[in-house]
Structure 1
Amino acid sequence: MKKKERQAIIRQVITENSVHTQTDLVALLAKAGLDVTQATVSRDITEMQLIKLPDEDGHTHYTLTTDRPIDGEGKLQRNLRGNVERIAVNNQFCLLDVLPGNGPVIGSLIKQMRYPEVFGVLSDDSAVLVIATTAAGAVQTRERLARLGAE
């Protein structure tokens, strides 16, 4: 099967199902008759620019990116409140220690905001590292995130 056909099926599967992990997606694709590896699915997710968004239950699921306007700062604010254990600045770095499971979502939302002082964002399960363009930018990021509920 060609990549375009496979990706069309992936679009359909994530539109019709709540897909939380790449493993879930591989299993759903197998049910649809596609034998793909997790590595192939991972490359397709990146190429298709799929994103994970929180649902009503607080879990994340894959979805298609969209051109319609979204309240990114509102989503960031909702995800920061009650989920940040500590926020600290050191030189050009702003580190958020977050409750387990929240790092990827918060990191992704910060990236989506495209704040001018942010050079890049790295996240794992329980931490988000915001790399600012300057030390002053890291302080500005900390203040911005604090206003949104990170403290």
Structure 2
Amino acid sequence: MKTVRHNAIKDLLVKTSVTNQDELRRKLAQGGIHVTQATLSRDIRELKLLKGPDGYELPEGESEENELPSIAGMLESFGTGVKQAQNLIVIHTTMGGAQPVAASIDYEEFDEVIGTIAGDNTVLVICPDLRNADEFRRRMEAYLA
């Protein structure tokens, strides 16, 4: 549980600013991780978080190792094609490329994407409707061009 909690804290700090412990505790609770103030203080100490003018920050070098390469970089490395079927997008990749591409899409939290499913060389991207799927497909095609 400690590792899950530490990873959740790191993820929050990469994605949002957190100004104090109470805000961090609330954001963790929203993600289903309930923790006491004492445990959170210990976690902050163990993670060696820094308190900057904008709130808590990861130590130098920590945020980079948690970030995935952008979807543009992933598609440049692994992408071979994009097709659309109604609200579904299929991204074809080289063998073994689907997992990192799907993870990158998930990490970037695109508004037009509900979720992804990755095989070995194919990613299925589920969009809520045709309009969002069109927009997402065009964006992915631009990255592949």
**TM-score with structure 1 setting the length:** 0.52
What do the CA deviations read for 1:73-108 (whole angstroms, capped 9, x no partner)? 962111111421221000110000100111111101
Alignment partner of 1:116 is 2:111: yes
- Residue 101 of structure 2: aligned partner: 106
The alpha-carbon deviation at position 128 of structure 1 amounts to 0.8
With over 3 angstroms needed to count, the CA separation of the structure-2 counterparts of 1:142 and 1:101, relative to structure 1, is same
Question: Where does structure 2 lack aligned partners over 5 or more consecutive residues?
Answer: 16-62
Contact 2:78 2:101 in 1 (8 A): no
1:139 is paired with a residue whose SS is helix
- Residue 97 of structure 1: aligned partner: 92
- Give distance in 2, aligned partners of 1:73 and 1:141: 19
- Residue 150 of structure 1: aligned partner: 144
Question: Where does structure 1 lack aligned partners over 5 or more consecutive residues?
Answer: 8-46, 51-63
Alignment partner of 1:138 is 2:84: no
Which ranges of 4 or more aligned residues in structure 1 deviate by more than 3 Å?
Answer: 47-50, 69-74
Larger radius of gyration: 2
**RMSD, matched Cα:** 2.9
The count of aligned residue pairs is 94
The alpha-carbon deviation at position 66 of structure 1 amounts to 6.5
With over 3 angstroms needed to count, the CA separation of the structure-2 counterparts of 1:107 and 1:49, relative to structure 1, is farther
Alignment of 1:30-41 (within 5 A): none
With over 3 angstroms needed to count, the CA separation of the structure-2 counterparts of 1:73 and 1:88, relative to structure 1, is farther
- Residue 38 of structure 1: aligned partner: none
The aligned amino acid for 2:14 is R
